[in-house]
Amino acid sequence: MNKLLEVLGIDVGYGDELFVFAASLHLAKGEIGCLLGPSGCGKTTLLRAIAGFEPVRRGCIRLAGKEVSSVVGTVPPERRQVGMVFQDFALFPHLSVADNIAFGIHHWPASKRRARVNELLQLVGLPNYGANYPHALSGGQQQRVALARAMAPKPRLLLLDEPFSSLDVELREVLAREVRRILSHEEITGLLVTHDQNEAFATADRIAVMQAGHILQCDTPYNLYHQPSNRQVADFIGQGVLLPARVSGSSELDTPLGRLTGELPEGLVTGSLVDVLVRPDDLLIDPACSLQAEVIDKVFRGAMFLYTLRLPDGHKLLCQAHSHADREIGSQIGLRPDFDHLVVFPRDA
């Protein structure tokens, strides 16, 4: 049994209102997880319940197999050995950087404590900043100190609440990758909260997509993109369009793009109406193809163009193409569907 964190069907709320409903997820030791969702979806509430700041109304939370939260009671945060990095970093303004990092290990022997602080300052790339005070640091530096402080007591689980949201966009990606490196170096299991997919993809092994208090899907980034288990996830993760289609055989669909073949989920009756997910990378531009579409918009992305196309029957599609050729808006291009696999959602009757 290697599950460090198990969240089993918990409800969390403030006052009379619930913000998290029947949420379940688990993380193996050393894994980095992520709660991804728009703001107000309950991801921070879920994180605070795992940290022990909020009691659960239903279900339970286990850390290393021991129950720490249930309706019976809550182990207070100071006794969970769970570290947390806050959105605003929450560095103690009256303490130096070194004292901030040493805050959670004040009971260690002085020499060991000093060694740990120096080790962490090295690890986060601030070796000479121990004597500085937080207000003298830049946002990115404060972020690193907050990370070092949370990791100092060697927590079993490190929670990060939107840790990069107050930083510049350029800095975010660098730090997201660095956090990954640092966590794996320290062999710490991590759980990150963010609303930014790129951040989630860059950092996490497993991502739980949340919406309106529910976890919609919990999976690897690859699977979330290629195998979304429902419409909301398909819509939220990556770009793409849902096209109406009709099941025309055990592994055939009739779509505005023509007949597509591929494995279909079980239980689909021939003749029933469905939607098929079309990602920008599922379409290739091929002048030899008879299927024509009109370019109605384009975004230059450096190596790629992202075109918005309109089919003769009016359906709009997104298509990604190399930027070697620049197609004019209004021009007609030939399209060739290139599906690796089909993602299909039945229509609600």
Q: Would you tell me which residues interact with another protein (CB under 8 A)? A: 48, 51-53, 55, 63-64, 66-70, 72-84, 86-88, 90, 92-94, 103-104, 149-150, 152-153, 159
Q: Other C-beta atoms within 10 Å of 300: how many? A: 10
Whole-number minimum distance, CB 191 to another protein, in Å?
13
Closest CB to another protein among residues 73, 265? 73
d(CA 23, CA 208): 10
Q: 36 with 207: CB under 8 angstroms?
A: yes
Closest CB to another protein among residues 94, 324? 94
Whole-number minimum distance, CB 163 to another protein, in Å?
12
How much helix, strand and coil, in percent to the nearest 5, is found in the chain? Answer: 25, 35, 40
Whole-number minimum distance, CB 77 to another protein, in Å?
4
Whole-number minimum distance, CB 82 to another protein, in Å?
6
Whole-number minimum distance, CB 205 to another protein, in Å?
23
Length of the chain as a residue count: 349
Alpha helices by DSSP H, the chain: 43-51, 97-102, 110-123, 139-151, 169-186, 197-203, 221-226, 231-236
d(CA 214, CA 25): 11
d(CA 59, CA 25): 12
Q: Which residue has the tokens 């991590």?
A: 190
Closest CB to another protein among residues 91, 283? 91
Closest CB to another protein among residues 152, 276? 152
Residue 24, phi then psi, degrees to nearest 5 = -135, 135
Whole-number minimum distance, CB 297 to another protein, in Å?
38
Whole-number minimum distance, CB 103 to another protein, in Å?
5
Whole-number minimum distance, CB 50 to another protein, in Å?
11
Record the tokens describing residue 344, joined without a space.
């299909």
Residue 122, phi then psi, degrees to nearest 5 = -60, -50
Q: Other C-beta atoms within 10 Å of 10: how many? A: 25
Closest CB to another protein among residues 66, 322? 66
Closest CB to another protein among residues 159, 317? 159
Closest CB to another protein among residues 121, 209? 121
Residue 211, phi then psi, degrees to nearest 5 = -150, 130
Closest CB to another protein among residues 163, 238? 163
d(CA 197, CA 203): 10
Whole-number minimum distance, CB 52 to another protein, in Å?
8
Residue 253, phi then psi, degrees to nearest 5 = -130, 140
Q: Other C-beta atoms within 10 Å of 142: how many? A: 21
Whole-number minimum distance, CB 130 to another protein, in Å?
18
Closest CB to another protein among residues 60, 304? 60
Closest CB to another protein among residues 147, 215? 147
Question: How is 6-19 classified by DSSP, letter by letter?
Answer: EEEEEEEEETTEEE
Is residue 200 exposed (0-12), middle (13-18) or buried (19+ Cβ within 10 Å)?
buried
